[in-house]
Structure 1
Amino acid sequence: MRNLRDRPVGQKITFVIMLISGVVLLLAFAALFCFQAYTLRQHSAHELAVVGEITAHNCAAAVMFKDEGAAAQILTGLKTMPQIVSARLEVADQQRLAYFGGLRDEMEIKAARLKSGFRIAGNRILLAQPVMLDGKREGTLYLVADLHAMSSQLLKLYGGIFALVLAASLLLAFLLSSQFLRFVTNPILSLAGIARTIAHHHDYSVRATKVCGDEVGGLTDAFNQMLTQIQSQDSALQTAQHELQEQVVALQREIGERERAEAAQARLTAILEATPDIVMSANPSGIPFYLNRAGHEILGVAEDRDISGTKTLYLHPEWAREIFAKEGLQEAIRQGSWAGETTILGRNRKEIHVSQVVIAHKSPEGKVEYFSTVLRDMTAYREAEEALRLSQQKLLETSRLAGMAEVATGVLHNVGNVLNSVNVSAGLVVERLRRSKAPKLAKAAALLTSHNGDLGEYLTNDVNGQKLPGYLSNLGEFFILENTELLNEVDQLSRNIEHIKEVVAMQQSYAKVSGVFENLQAHRLVEDAIAMNIGAFERHGVEVERQFSAVPPIRVDRHKVLQILINLIRNAKYALDDVERIDKKIVISISAPNGRYIQIVVSDNGVGIAPENLT
């Protein structure tokens, strides 16, 4: 019910109309159903009486002769009527002659002991019809009819009709109410819309339109009169409120500007007092009237001392006063400000190198009202600058020494590899000499010497002498082969020693003082860097592919460029250590994109760089 009260007026009226229509239709159909049920019961009783009278007449002969078969056959014919559920035929002494139906029906007949006529109980009708023969009562026929099925069918029929009629009626009522309800609701809704507009926009000049002369029309007139009074009062109130707001805003603006000015002045003063720089203000004559805390400390002036007796020019040494007066002040007066470096006299008349900014504050007419200056002590900056210069020199020297160590490490690797080859070659030569057959040649010579007198006889007839020429021939071939192999080993040994000399010479050439710029060929620098790592490439099976284009000489520091190339090539080799592939390759290319510089690119097919580490 609460939800219904909150519904719009149109919905409320429509709901009431449809509710009343539904209740009226329900009552009408209930009355019609009751009347129809009563009529059905009376009609069924009359029909049952006719059937009973006919059946009793037909049973007169069977009762007279007490023919149970004929009586049962007659009663069986009553089964064709669905409303008759039981029948009993008695003779005069209440003895049952024929019967059909249930035990309950028979007990009901016996309990009723109805002589003749009807007894209606709910949907059941009991008929007692006397069986007369020649004007004499010979027996009684009892019939029981049940109207429940017929009543249910009638209820379903009327229920369906009621549902259809109710739906059609409600639909018609809804359509008609929707069409004609606006004559009642539109004035009310219009008045409610005007009230909402006024509530939302606070516009009391809006008026409701009177559309009818009934109670709603009277309410509209009263509503408009109320709006007129409210509008006049609201106008006066808004005028007074506007004037008050203007006064409050003006006062707040003035208070805010004053507070902001005071706060800005307090912040500025705090900043000036906290800064380590000297901040000073002076009149056009050079008499200071403000000096911050840092100025008092650096210049050695007590904070409680009156500074108006000091001229700003005397803060500078004599040699700097004229320069500052002619250049600094004059530039500030012409341009509004001046910035430069100068010197002031600090505590104990010690000269302090400072960076100074002078600002000339002028009136709208262009006349200087006062000067302000900011001086920063540059002593620590100069000391830091000198320390930085020395550190850079040390860093360059350290970098040069580190590069020399890097080159020396490469030289040691290469020399070590070559020395291993030299050691192997020397070992092979020694082993060859140990296995030489030179002693056997001496034995053969001694044997020939011992048969010097009969040498021909010995070589011809002696068994050992006959073998000696062939042996000497084989021994000569062996010595020739051995001599060739020894020459090859000695040649390889000589080349390795020469390679050692070249590596050492290269290291000596790069061990010169760093910082000297020379005109060098780029491919020579790259070849030297490759030579420093050639041993590592051979051990790890890395192929180096050169893609050198013709480029002009470059003017560089030989040592620094070589150090960079060695690091790049070594990083490429390290990237190939973590991959399991047989085609490890480093590609080094030299090109000149333009005439101003050359480009050296070192690429490999190794693991690469993770995306998150790329910059």
Structure 2
Amino acid sequence: MKGLIRDASIAKKLCLLTVLAVFIALSLCYGAFILNDIATHRAATLRQIESLASVLGRNSVSALEFDDRDAATETLSSLAGQSAIEHAVLRDGQGEIFATFPAKLPASLTDRRSEFLEVHRPINVSRATSSIGAMENLDDLFADDAATQALSDSNGTDSPSEATTIGHLTIRANTNEIYSELRGRTLVAAIVLVSSLLIGVSISMYFRHSITMPVHNLVTATRAIAEDRDYSHRVTKLGDDELGALANAFNAMVGELETQQKHLQLAYEELEQRVERRTEELATANADLQREMDKRESLQEELISASRHAGMAEIATGVLHNVGNVLNSVNVSAITLVDRVKNSHVQTVIKKLVDLLTEHKDDLATFFTSDPRGVQLPAFLQQLAVHVEAEGKEQEDELRAMMGHVDHIKVIVSRQQNYARMGGITEDVDLVTLVKDAMDLNGASNMKYGIEIKTDFDDVPTVTSDKHKILQILVNLFANAKQALLASETATKTLTLQVRSEGDMVSVSVGDNGVGIADENFKKLFTHGFTTKKTGHGFGLHSSACSAKEIGGSLSVHSDGLGKGAVFTLRIPAVSEAAQPV
């Protein structure tokens, strides 16, 4: 049944809805009227019987007093004109039958079927007034019940003497007239119901055309577009109601779909070109990176050889240490870049997209309008383009970071080559920016090992000093802090950076919660060749302390002991001072 209603046309559903609404409304109204009529008729009949019993009781007082059964029977025979009265029984004070109507009663007087109404009334007499006037015309009783009731009330209050019950009167009436009248009304109600249903169906059939025709036009147009791929098809608007608005929206959607199909093809071709260009750029960048790394390795070997031949072993060692720190960052960036290129799913997604479009090349219109994947394809291509652009931006940022590492290596090498001939070049340095640059040089490595960086930078004045010496010191401190954190078993590894102004000095603190420093190692910490690391050479802190003195500053350390981390503080004068010997 539910399937039949669900699959029926809108016109049939509207007709069925109208019929049901009319039928239910009229049925409820009829039911309410019937119940009300039954209650009203029963109450009216019961009041008539009670009034009749009151009058007959008063008229039977004399017969009961004088034991005149014939007079009592004649009094009850006045009920012959009442068609609803089944029978009446007058009993004396001892409960014996005194008179009846009709003269021959039914076999059983105890029949109390639900369709009968029965009234029992005692007959009382006051010994102070032993006679009560009788009403001769009972038809007048039914004409004026109010008068009868008034008479009853007056008779009941004629004397203050005590009343005595001398008999009982029982009157039983049937309800045939009530239900006969209801059957007639039911027939009329049925005729009205059928007529109302026919009128409702006629009205619904008249108005359903204005509702179902626009829907039918939409269905026809949709099928035509899906089957014939004719995007020029439009729906005729029949009115300015909601269905008219739906027709306008459908026409606009079809026009936009035709435009989007053209744009989608163009976007697909452009996306392929961009992917090809990006692939070529990445391949070129990787080749350039490899060549640069080869050059750096060659340069490192040349520096070692030059230092040995020139007798500058310590300088060469410092250069190699600094270059090695930077090369580690270059290596991390290169690995990160290669992993991103390797793990990129862009080419795979594009191949799947091409396969999907090739699969549906013969029914693209249906695919774009009916298939859930085709409907979502324009939004997906837009997201893919955004992803490709973001991925390219990330790779470009990584390449720029690598270029920064290479430039730093060039400066280190160039400065050491000219060390014997000239001092370092001083310039105005924004220390906060320089600390951030040093952080960026190690940023990828920190992210890789899950190191949390906390910064606390004050507004400090610009210092005039050797920018690349400061950068070299900071890179060394960051590298040492990272190694201390990696060697620690601390769950949360934190690197804390602070920049403070201290009078005519500016300080940079690099703290960690790593392995800490033993008390016996403090005096040897900045000595050339001293190290606590298995793979260390003891050049980094010594070189950094020497560079700090060369720019007129100092490098100090504080630690509460093993397992409690360490804090290295670099202090730099606001104005560069002459280099001092180590």
Which is strand-richer, 1 or 2? 1
TM-score when scaled to structure 2? 0.35
TM-score when scaled to structure 1? 0.34
Report the structure number with the largest CA radius of gyration.
Answer: 1
Structure with the bigger RCO (C-alpha within 8 Å, sep 6+) is 2
